[in-house]
Amino acid sequence: MSETKNVLVAEDVVVKFVGDSGDGMQLTGTLFSDTVAYDHNDLTTFPDYPAEIRAPQNTIAGVSGFQVHFGSKKILTFGDLCQTLVAMNPASLKANLKWAEKGAYIIVDADLFTDAYNEKAGYKTNPLTDGSLSEYKLAAVPMISLTKEAVKHLEMDNKSVIKSKNMFSLGICLYLYSKTLDHAIKHIDSKFAKKPQLAELNKTVLKAGYEYAEKSPIFDTIFQVNAADVEKGNYRNIHGNQATAWGLIAAAEKAKLQLFLGSYPITPATEILMELAKHKSLGVKVIQYEDEIAGICGAIGASFAGSLACTTTSGPGLSLKSEAMGLAVITELPLVIVNVQRGGPSTGLPTKSEQSDLMQALFGRNGEAPMVVISSSSPVDCFYKAFFAAKIALEHMVPVILLTEGALGFGSELFRIPKMSELPEINPPMATPNDPDFKPYRRDPETLVRQWATPGTEGLRHRIGGLEKEDIIGNVSTDPLNHEKMTYYRAEKVARVVKKIPDQELYGDATGDLLIVSWGSTQGSVYSAVRKLREDGYKVSQAHFSYLNPLPKNTEEVLSGFKHICVCELNSGQLVNWLKMNFNKHDYSQYNKVQGLPFLKSELLAHFTNLLKK
């Protein structure tokens, strides 16, 4: 390390890589984040893809990004503004400069800031020279030229050489954050094990970037992020969708059942389907069906046949599954429906995140068809909530909706690997073969749960289906009083799940001026804002809800401790109305954002401060 550099010790930093969708920014970001994870920093990552696979080059529509938030403290959010922005072309700079902090390093490939490219990106003048970046630390690096220069001796084709320039930017960033090249080199070696020439090329460019940054006077300040003080154990980086898939496999293993997934590809949920398709060695059966409806119907069939059955989707797919969800409700079969929420309505914003399917999850079915609804609040939490959703579904013979979000599914964080022995047991209510007292709708008096008699079991042949059934006996029944009774049973059965749901926790004191309520992916940003206000002496607390139906049994008590309650959501106000329906004597307001973007800590702070001043 050069002696002339200032080394700044940072508690947490945000680095964002952006470029054309063909520039390899996802790989660059992944290698960078894996390196910081190996270096024992805590981290989250958040990719930002365009909806198009390959939009026209150097256009805003084609910008692909990858954000890494890492630090020596617990990292709770994907990060608001970045301290380093790597922009590989004018369009990506144009689209992302607003996410860079004043004073941030802006590292660009200067070779691409030509008049034609600048104009295509919507710049009237060259941003590198017109003074518009004067408030930032601009590193205008002629990356293509430097890459070509560095690998001249390898005599490789031009296309491969230019493609490798992302390694140049990675080299710069690894130097800038005092990280070694070891992990990246290891990865390149294994990725190109059969193409040693390409391995050599990429490693040479990576080192060239690192050495360039070391020598360049513009990088006069470099950063040191110390190891995070996290619980000891084995760790890995995990994406939310992968975590959801793993949580389901873990639940099947605990319940000693086969896992069955019926699904259909849909952004941003497809990764769960792809992940589960990989794990046939664990007995996971996956059918990629012809449509969303078939996906859930297949799962219902597999559930009747005795599997832990799941279906995975996103908003429009959840709409298509509505009728079949009603079938799962009336047949009282275990089923996990994962909805990775995206912006709506209709096709909406497929690659952007939102929390706008809560009301649909609670009510979006014909007739009265109540379902258990659970949400997850971070990529790692997707593992535990998927496991819990399966546990509830199996033990209570009910369909359960797990709401995650695109941001959680695509985002990643450090996962302390649990041992399977640490996870709770799952005990489905299997019927006993040849039980003379078996009836399809006979219920446990405590939980109202019926028994699970799977085809093949001796002495328990029976029929169920979508028509209303007679209490206990299970024959088709149109009797008015029976229908009313069964309707209340179905509702009460869901309500009694509350006994297995942990009490609602509070961050902060149990009483105060203001309670901030959040759910889903916003936990970290809301927490950061509330913590700041508490440090400043305000009487504010946070209640982050994961269990949305039934709501935890102490909810009323938690809400009662505060003069005012503000419910923050990435929709126009859904949880707030659900709370008002259930607990109507409190003073509520709401804070919403429906832009397909997460809350910024700064905007939350500003809003909460205003509320507290009133």
Partner 1 sequence: MAENINLTVDRSNVELTKADFVSDQMVKWCPGCGAHAILAAVANVFPKIGYRKENFMMVSGIGCSSRFPYYVNTYGFHSIHGRANPIATGMKVANPHLSVWVATGDGDSMAIGGNHFIHVIRRNVDINIMLFNNQIYGLTKGQYSPTTPMGMVTKTSPQGTIEHPFTAGELVLGAQGSFFARVVDTDVKMMTEVMFEAARHDGTSVVEIMQNCIIFNDKTHALITAKETKDEYQLKLRNGEPMIFGANRDKGIRLNGTQLEVVTIGQNGITENDLLVHDQYQQDPGIHLMLAKMAPPKYPMAMGVIRSANYPTYDDMVEMQIDYAKANSKIKCMDDLLNSGEVFAI
Write out the residues near partner 1 by the rule CB under 8 A. Answer: 34, 37-38, 40, 227, 230-237, 246, 249-250, 253, 258, 260, 262, 279-283, 285, 287, 289-291, 293-295, 297-307, 309, 323-324, 327, 331, 417-420, 454-467, 475-476
Which residue do the tokens 């990246």 mark?
184
Q: Considering beta carbons, is residue 242 or 267 the nearer one to partner 1?
A: 242
> Least CB distance from residue 540 to partner 1, whole Å?
33
DSSP code per residue over 399-430: EEEEEEEHHHHH-EEEEEPPPGGGSPP----B
CA–CA separation, 304 vs 327, rounded Å?
12
> Least CB distance from residue 306 to partner 1, whole Å?
6
> Least CB distance from residue 187 to partner 1, whole Å?
9
> Least CB distance from residue 203 to partner 1, whole Å?
19
Q: What is the DSSP letter of 494?
A: H
* Residues whose CB is less than 8 angstroms from the CB of residue 459 and which lie 6 or more positions away in sequence, other chains included: 433, 434, 435, 436, 438
> Least CB distance from residue 248 to partner 1, whole Å?
10
Q: Considering beta carbons, is residue 188 or 548 the nearer one to partner 1?
A: 188
Q: What is the DSSP letter of 520?
A: G
Q: Considering beta carbons, is residue 213 or 245 the nearer one to partner 1?
A: 245
**Please, what's the b/e burial string for 549-564 (b: 16 or more CB within 10 A of its CB; e: otherwise)?**
bbbbeebeebbebbeb
Q: Considering beta carbons, is residue 331 or 341 the nearer one to partner 1?
A: 331
β-bridge partners, 590: 567
Q: Considering beta carbons, is residue 231 or 446 the nearer one to partner 1?
A: 231
Of the candidates 469, 256, 495, which has an alpha carbon nearest to the alpha carbon of residue 370?
Answer: 495
> Least CB distance from residue 435 to partner 1, whole Å?
13
- Phi then psi for 497, rounded to 5 degrees? -60, -20
| 348 touches 315 (CB < 8 A) | yes
Q: Considering beta carbons, is residue 287 or 597 the nearer one to partner 1?
A: 287
Q: Considering beta carbons, is residue 234 or 610 the nearer one to partner 1?
A: 234
Q: What is the DSSP letter of 59?
A: S
Q: Considering beta carbons, is residue 419 or 613 the nearer one to partner 1?
A: 419
> Least CB distance from residue 462 to partner 1, whole Å?
7
Q: Considering beta carbons, is residue 136 or 235 the nearer one to partner 1?
A: 235
* Token pair for 75: 């990292």
CA–CA separation, 312 vs 328, rounded Å?
15
> Least CB distance from residue 292 to partner 1, whole Å?
11
> Least CB distance from residue 160 to partner 1, whole Å?
26
Which residue do the tokens 């072309």 mark?
89
β-bridge partners, 519: 545
CA–CA separation, 325 vs 328, rounded Å?
5
Which residue do the tokens 């360039």 mark?
212
* Residues whose CB is less than 8 angstroms from the CB of residue 429 and which lie 6 or more positions away in sequence, other chains included: 395, 397, 444, 449, 450, 451, 452
3-state secondary structure of 309: strand
Of the candidates 244, 293, 523, which has an alpha carbon nearest to the alpha carbon of residue 402?
Answer: 244
> Least CB distance from residue 527 to partner 1, whole Å?
22
HSE at residue 394, side-chain half, CA atoms within 13 A, is 27
Q: Considering beta carbons, is residue 301 or 348 the nearer one to partner 1?
A: 301
CA–CA separation, 396 vs 449, rounded Å?
6
Q: What Å distances lie between residue 173 and 21, 214, 379, 597, CA to CA?
A: 20, 11, 25, 26
CA–CA separation, 291 vs 298, rounded Å?
11
Q: Considering beta carbons, is residue 9 or 417 the nearer one to partner 1?
A: 417
> Least CB distance from residue 263 to partner 1, whole Å?
11
> Least CB distance from residue 453 to partner 1, whole Å?
8
Q: Considering beta carbons, is residue 459 or 502 the nearer one to partner 1?
A: 459
